[in-house]
Amino acid sequence: MMTGEPEAHDSSYDIKNDQRRTKIHDLLKNYGERIQYSVFECELNRKEYQQLRDALDPLIDVEETDSVRFYRLCRECRSKLEHVGGRSARDNTAIII
């Protein structure tokens, strides 16, 4: 993957502390779209992904078992995504003029 080529990343978090959870939520919404309460879909190139990881590090308290998970999804895997109920995720193939 080249630096400028975006890849799909789904991220989820489990944070006990309200203040830290809010900060992590606010950070993630700058990089992607919230699709469930603590789950985000992000289209990130390698540089953006590293920026996000670097920004998360000081916010996570591993002593309190904070957890943020990233799932990188290839194009083929993303096309096999199945969604039932709730609102649909955004359509990244749409062109807005």
14 among annotated binding-site residues? yes
The pair of three-digit structure tokens given for residue 81, joined into one six-digit string: 């995504």
The pair of three-digit structure tokens given for residue 51, joined into one six-digit string: 């920026």
Task: Name the band, by pLDDT with cuts 50, 70 and 90, for residue 88.
Answer: low
CATH T-level assignment (fold) for domain 7-79: Alpha-Beta Plaits (3.30.70)
| 91 pLDDT more than 80 | no
**Bigger pLDDT: 87 vs 10:** 10
Per-residue pLDDT, 82: 80
**Percent of the chain, pLDDT > 90?**
59
CB 80 within 8 A of CB 49: no
Kindly report whether the global pTM for this prediction surpasses the value 0.75.
Answer: yes
Q: Which residues contact 71 (CB under 8 A, 6 or more apart)?
A: 9, 10, 11, 12
| 35 pLDDT more than 60 | yes
**Bigger pLDDT: 93 vs 44:** 44
Per-residue pLDDT, 97: 44
Backbone φ and ψ for 88, nearest 5 degrees, come out as -75, 155
Domain segments of the chain: what residues?
7-79
